[in-house]
Amino acid sequence: MEKSPLIEARGIHKRFLAVHALNDVSASFHGGEVVAVMGENGAGKSTLMKCLAGVYVPDEGEIRFEGQPVSIPSVNRASELGIAFIHQELNLADNLSVGANIFLGREPRKLGPLGIIDDAEIRRRTAVLIDQLGMQFSPDTRVSDLTIGHQQMVEIAKALSQDARILIMDEPTSSLTRHETDVLFKLVAELRAKGLCIVFISHRLAEVQEIADRVIVLRDGKNSGELPREEIDHDRMVSLMVGRDLNVHHSKQENSAGENVRLRVSALRVEHAPDEEVSFELRGGEIVAMAGLVGAGRTELAQALFGVDRVLGGKIEVEGEPVTIRNPRDAIAAGIAYVPENRKEHGAIVEMTIRDNVVMAGLDRYQQLGFVQQARHEQVAVEAKEQLNIKTPTVAKEVGLLSGGNQQKVVLAKWISLGPKVFLLDEPTRGIDVGSKSEIYEVIEGMAQDGAAILFISSEMEEVLRVADRILVMHEGKLAGELMGDAMTEERVMQLATGNQ
Ligand SMILES: Nc1ncnc2c1ncn2[C@@H]1O[C@H](COP(=O)(O)OP(=O)(O)OP(=O)(O)O)[C@@H](O)[C@H]1O
Ligand SMILES: [Mg+2]
């Protein structure tokens, strides 16, 4: 490609106090091209994108647009240049409708720019966009009533409505289903054909291989290398990202931790599917994966067990004792921990430090320690940081300032430090890089070996097959089946998940 790039970063530096997030990074992006930016959690991917999108101004270096040096001091300037940016942590107004979000601040109006907002026009244009994305919800739906996958689609619709020339998507697929991802990729291919430049960040190597024309890899804030289309393969991407080969051995163990039932759920009914009764057991030492299509009711089931959603009927026993769970406090007291799918909602409090987040769930316990509390907090948090390899100079840093993957690790750390008997994990590795994923599996396996029972909800087949001792599959609010041993195959999971026996 000899034409000058549409947008180009040259020798960019960006520092945040002790962190040199971008250290002499250069990257160029052309029209008609899909470029994947990859790297471990905290490598600097989001920071680079934010420099291109007017969120951050680089400390040093130059940005060129169509060959000319430009400064992009604001998001508005970026929009004027035709740069649309979809944040990793979605940026929607939860209490507004889909349409209101898409046209927020640039609402079509009747009778000129000072006229009243033309709701009918918003609805009409929103419906067209939603349809283009293959989605089914109404333009009037409140964003808070959508799944995160659908919220992601709203962000994409918003970017499309701006007629961007450069579309930057920071982990657009991490909360999408396979079907939604297919729809998105089809759209990306169409936009590429129209000459747009699409930049996207993903930790899913298979997806990158599928859609990217070129891969740019960052490591520790520096350029680590680039791969043209024909050189994109799993091993090359991994070695540029982590600088070593990963051992992806299956460390799954024959289960010896015993028969003791940690959690027994009998005829449980939840609001999501009030007519279905769900029953299953989790034993200590066991990792049970819960597979299913998005919307099958897995999250709702976990939320009911954790007291977030209402339990309508049935029985829950922890270690043989019946328990009543009306709220998360009851669940925690019973020894149940929950890592939510949506880390913003029930996960981390981003305005608080890593330390305070990590010890928050166990405050009652640490309070008993009286005056040694502070030191103990620090110690628990530092241990968690090391165990999960959270990338930060100090546990006194605000969680909101960490990279996305590292925020997810904080959510995990918070619950791990409680040492729960029953651990409900809902898509725990969303946004986590390949190397850290293995580390997280190891931590979870360690917890199982120490006797915890683990329910591992995941939509990533690879991961389900890798970590599970047993697989429960949900379909439309009920348990469609259970798979063990040789029956744990992708085909069987998909059959059950789609309602076939
Ligand atoms: N506003 C900020 N203040 C302080 N530190 C920051 C800020 N933004 C980013 N950082 C730090 O800069 C580094 C790079 O972060 P960045 O978000 O770019 O990583 P990333 O490659 O997007 O990672 P992930 O895959 O986890 O999303 C991290 O160490 C992060 O903690
Ligand atoms: Mg990021």
pLDDT tens figures, 448-475: 998 999 999 998 888 999 999 999 999 9
Q: Are 196 and 166 in contact (CB under 8 A)?
A: yes
307 Cα to the center of ligand 2, angstroms: 31
284 C-beta closer than 6 A to ligand 1: no
Which structure tokens are listed for 12? 């960019």
Intrachain domains 7-242 and 260-335+420-501 with the same fold: yes
Q: Higher-confidence residue: 150 or 48?
A: 48
Phi, psi of 189 (to 5 degrees): -65, -40
500 Cα to the center of ligand 2, angstroms: 38
Report the nearest-CA residue for atom 28 of ligand 1. Answer: 42
Q: Higher-confidence residue: 439 or 16?
A: 16
pLDDT single digits (tens) 32-54:
999 999 998 899 999 999 999 99
- 129-159 in b/e form (b: 16+ CB < 10 A) is bbeebebeeebebebeebbbbbbbbbbbbbb
Report the nearest-CA residue for atom 1 of ligand 1. Answer: 401
262 C-beta closer than 6 A to ligand 1: no
Count CA within 13 A, CB hemisphere, residue 21.
23
21 C-beta closer than 6 A to ligand 1: yes
59 Cα to the center of ligand 2, angstroms: 19
Question: What is residue 249's predicted lDDT score, i.e. its pLDDT?
Answer: 44
Ligand approaching nearest to the C-alpha of 404 = 1
Atom number, ligand 1, closest to the C-alpha of residue 88: 27
205 Cα to the center of ligand 1, angstroms: 21
Place of tokens 């979605």: 90
335 C-beta closer than 6 A to ligand 1: no
Q: Are 188 and 168 in contact (CB under 8 A)?
A: no
Report the nearest-CA residue for atom 6 of ligand 1. Answer: 401
Question: What is residue 34's predicted lDDT score, i.e. its pLDDT?
Answer: 98
Q: Higher-confidence residue: 153 or 226?
A: 226
Best CA proximity match to 42, nearest among 437, 428, 405, 471: 405
pLDDT single digits (tens) 275-311:
899 999 999 999 999 998 777 889 999 999 999 999 9
- What's the mean pLDDT when you consider all of the chain? 87
Domain 7-242, second-level architecture: 3-Layer(aba) Sandwich (3.40)
Fold of the domain spanning 260-335+420-501: Rossmann fold (3.40.50)
Atom number, ligand 1, closest to the C-alpha of residue 403: 17
CA dist., res. 374 & res. 387, Å (int): 20
Q: What is the pTM of this model?
A: 0.78
44 C-beta closer than 6 A to ligand 1: yes
Strand ranges of the sheet holding 261-270, from the earlier edge strand across to the other edge: 278-283, 261-270, 311-318, 321-322
- Whether 1 has a pLDDT exceeding 80, the answer reads no
CA dist., res. 474 & res. 188, Å (int): 31
Which structure tokens are listed for 49? 């994108």
Mutate to test the pocket of ligand 1, among 13, 14, 19 (most ligand atoms within 8 A of CB): 19
Q: Across residues 411-425, what is the average pLDDT?
A: 88
- Whether 21 has a pLDDT exceeding 50, the answer reads yes
Question: What is residue 365's predicted lDDT score, i.e. its pLDDT?
Answer: 55
Question: What is residue 259's predicted lDDT score, i.e. its pLDDT?
Answer: 65
Q: Higher-confidence residue: 162 or 222?
A: 222
Q: Across residues 343-371, what is the average pLDDT?
A: 72
Best CA proximity match to 211, nearest among 239, 248, 176, 242: 176
Question: What is residue 81's predicted lDDT score, i.e. its pLDDT?
Answer: 94
Ligand approaching nearest to the C-alpha of 47 = 1
- Residue 246's pLDDT band (cuts 50, 70, 90): low
47 C-beta closer than 6 A to ligand 1: yes
Ligand approaching nearest to the C-alpha of 432 = 1
- Residue 242's pLDDT band (cuts 50, 70, 90): confident
Best CA proximity match to 175, nearest among 200, 143, 149, 147: 149
Q: Are 293 and 498 in contact (CB under 8 A)?
A: yes
- Residue 8's pLDDT band (cuts 50, 70, 90): very high
Mutate to test the pocket of ligand 1, among 41, 47, 85, 432 (most ligand atoms within 8 A of CB): 47
Mutate to test the pocket of ligand 1, among 402, 409, 430, 440 (most ligand atoms within 8 A of CB): 402
19 Cα to the center of ligand 2, angstroms: 15
Question: What is residue 272's predicted lDDT score, i.e. its pLDDT?
Answer: 83
- Sequential DSSP letters for 276-343: --EEEEEETT-EEEEEE-TTSSHHHHHHHHTTSSPEEEEEEEETTEE---SSHHHHHHTTEEEE-S-I
Angle at 306 between CA 154 and CA 273, to 5 degrees: 65
Question: What is residue 364's predicted lDDT score, i.e. its pLDDT?
Answer: 56
Atom number, ligand 1, closest to the C-alpha of residue 39: 21
Q: Domain map of the chain by residue range?
A: 7-242, 260-335+420-501, 350-417
350 C-beta closer than 6 A to ligand 1: no
CA dist., res. 423 & res. 416, Å (int): 9
- Residue 372's pLDDT band (cuts 50, 70, 90): low
409 Cα to the center of ligand 2, angstroms: 13
280 C-beta closer than 6 A to ligand 1: no
406 C-beta closer than 6 A to ligand 1: yes
Contacts of 337 (CB under 8 A, 6+ apart): 331, 361, 415, 418, 420, 422, 423, 424
pLDDT single digits (tens) 250-268:
444 444 444 689 999 999 9
Mutate to test the pocket of ligand 1, among 15, 16, 216 (most ligand atoms within 8 A of CB): 16
Question: What is residue 257's predicted lDDT score, i.e. its pLDDT?
Answer: 44
> Residue 355: in which H helix or E strand, if any?
helix 354-360
| Listed residues: CB within 5 A of ion ligand 2 | 46, 88, 403-404
Atom number, ligand 1, closest to the C-alpha of residue 391: 29
Count CA within 13 A, CB hemisphere, residue 486.
0
pLDDT single digits (tens) 172-212:
887 777 777 888 898 899 999 999 999 999 988 889 999 99
